[in-house]
Amino acid sequence: MYGEVMSTQERLIETTRELLWERGYVGTSPKAILQRAGVGQGSMYHHFTGKSDLALAAIRRTGEEMRATVDRLLDGSGPAYGRVEAYLLRERDVLRGCPVGRLTMDPDVIASEELRAPVDETIAHVKRRLADVVQQGVDSGEFGPHLVPADIAAAVVATVQGGYVLARASGDTEAFDAGVRGLLALLKPAPRTRS
């Protein structure tokens, strides 16, 4: 599955990321990690103190990747609506769900302060960045002054996460797409009229 170029430590982290996304923390056994990564037990314990330590590295990596994607989509000087739209319309594996959102439904991750911390940090980062963009839109007059940026950011995140749940439940990406279309229609600035 992995080429010789990827180190054993990297294979372990990437394999754990995949398994956490597919199965959650409880369903991700050390045996499954080792088998899928194609490494021996000694390799895991050479690089990590155990499953929790490896899972933490994997969750941190997933969070870093998501934050980088969000930053790339929301950075820039274009219209605020266009940047929020780019975030909402970005390519996703909708039926697989969100790798970070998946972790919020895992009781073992939520029960562990250490494992939950990078999940909380990632969600907070996404909401903060979205709120900043909405604030820029309010400041420029693109969005109405009545919008509360933190509330809009929360609505965007809730739409995305809820869209994943609805799509997975129905087995159809249209449930996600409909939520995104609806939110974008609500956010679309009204055309400016000339006085």
* Predicted pLDDT of residue 44: 87
SS3 content of the chain, % helix, strand, coil (to 5): 75, 0, 25
pLDDT at residue 2 is higher than 90: no
pLDDT value of residue 193: 60
Rounded mean pLDDT of 4-21?
88
SS3 per residue for 72-118: HHHCCCCCHHHHHHHHHHCCCCHHHCCHHHHHHCCHHHHHCHHHHHH
To which H or E segment does residue 170 belong? helix 149-170
d(CA 143, CA 131): 12
Could you report the per-residue pLDDT of 88-112, keeping only the tens digit for each? 999 999 999 999 999 999 999 999 9
pLDDT tens, residue by residue, 102-155: 999 999 999 999 999 999 999 999 999 999 999 999 999 999 999 999 999 999
pLDDT tier at 194 (50, 70, 90 boundaries)? Answer: low
Which of 34, 30, 39, 33 is closest to 4 using CA atoms? 39
CA distance 128 to 136: 12
Please report the pLDDT score of residue 6 as a whole number. 73
Per-residue pLDDT tens for 37-66? 999 888 888 899 999 999 999 999 999 999
* pLDDT at residue 155 in the model: 98
Determine the topology of domain 59-187 in CATH.
Answer: Tetracycline Repressor; domain 2 (1.10.357)
- ∠ at Cα 20 (19, 22), nearest 5°? 60
- What's the pLDDT at 45? 86
State the average pLDDT for the chain.
93
Read off the pLDDT of each residue in 150-170 and give the average, rounded to a whole number.
Answer: 97
What residues contact residue 61 under an 8 Å CB cut-off, 6+ apart? 13, 14, 17
Q: Which of 27-36, 42-51, 143-152, 169-178 has the lowest mean pLDDT?
A: 42-51
Contacts of 114 (CB under 8 A, 6+ apart): 52, 56
Is residue 85 predicted with pLDDT exceeding 80? yes
